[in-house]
Amino acid sequence: MITIVEAKTKAELKQFVKFPFSIYKNSPYWVPPIINDELDSFNKDKNPVFKDAEAWFLLAYNGPKLVGRVAAIINWIEINNQKVKKMRFGWFDFVDDTNVSEALLKRVEEIGREHKLEFMEGPVGFSNLDKVGVVTEGYDHIGSMITWYNHPYYVKHYERLGFVKEKEYLENKFPFANAKPEFFERIQGLIKKRYNLREINFTKTKDVMPLADKMFDLFNESYASLSSFVPINDIQKEHFKQKYISFINPEYIKFVVDKDDNLVAFSIVMPSFSKALQKSKGKLFPFGAYHLLKAKKQSKDVIFYLIGVHPEYQNKGVTAIIFNEYYKTFKDKGIENCIRTPELEENTAIRQLWKNFDPKIFRRRRTYRKNL
- What DSSP element (H or E) covers 237? helix 234-243
Q: Are 60 and 38 in contact (CB under 8 A)?
A: no
* Residue 202 per-residue DSSP state: -
Q: What is the mean pLDDT of residues 49-56?
A: 94
CB atoms within 10 A of CB 65: 9
- The pLDDT value recorded for residue 349 is 82
Q: What is the mean pLDDT of residues 331-352?
A: 92
Measured CA to CA in angstroms, residue 359 lies from 42, 57, 137, 176, 231 at distances of: 35, 37, 17, 10, 29
Residue ranges of alpha helices (H) inside 135-287 are 153-160, 185-195, 205-223, 234-243, 274-280
- Tell me if the pTM is above 0.95: no
Q: Are 323 and 317 in contact (CB under 8 A)?
A: no
Q: CA nearest 32: which of 42, 44, 22?
A: 22
Mean pLDDT check: name the lowest of 5-14, 238-247, 292-301. Answer: 238-247
The 3-state DSSP class for residue 177 equals: helix
Give the chain's domains with CATH numbers. 2-170 (3.40.630.30), 175-364 (3.40.630.30)
- The pLDDT value recorded for residue 228 is 64
Q: Are 92 and 335 in contact (CB under 8 A)?
A: no
- The pLDDT value recorded for residue 210 is 87
pLDDT category, 207, cuts 50, 70, 90? very high
- Sort 334 into a burial class: Cβ within 10 Å, 0-12 / 13-18 / 19+: exposed
Q: Are 85 and 73 in contact (CB under 8 A)?
A: no
* Residue 53 per-residue DSSP state: E
- The pLDDT value recorded for residue 227 is 63
More confident residue, 81 or 246: 81
> 122 pairs with which residues across the strands?
368
* Longest Cα separation, the chain: 69
* Residue 33 per-residue DSSP state: P
pLDDT at residue 229 tops 80: no
Percentage of the residues of the chain whose pLDDT score is greater than 70: 99
- The pLDDT value recorded for residue 246 is 77
pLDDT at residue 56 tops 70: yes
Length of the chain: 372
Residues 6+ apart with CB under 8 A from 332: none
pLDDT tens, 276-331?
999 999 999 889 999 999 999 999 999 999 899 999 999 899 999 999 999 999 99
pLDDT tens, 166-190?
999 999 999 999 999 988 999 999 9
- Sort 172 into a burial class: Cβ within 10 Å, 0-12 / 13-18 / 19+: buried
Per-residue three-class SS string for 28-41? CCCCCCCHHHHHHH
**What whole-number distance in Å separates Cα of residue 7 and Cα of residue 242?**
27
Measured CA to CA in angstroms, residue 38 lies from 28, 46, 69, 180 at distances of: 21, 11, 14, 39
pLDDT tens, 109-132?
999 999 999 999 999 999 877 999
Q: Which long-range contacts (CB under 8 A, 24 or more apart) does 348-352 make?
A: 349/314, 349/315, 350/307
**What whole-number distance in Å separates Cα of residue 114 and Cα of residue 35?**
31
Mean pLDDT check: name the lowest of 35-39, 73-77, 79-83, 201-205. Answer: 79-83
**What whole-number distance in Å separates Cα of residue 7 and Cα of residue 110?**
17
**What whole-number distance in Å separates Cα of residue 335 and Cα of residue 177?**
9
Q: CA nearest 126: which of 205, 18, 235?
A: 235
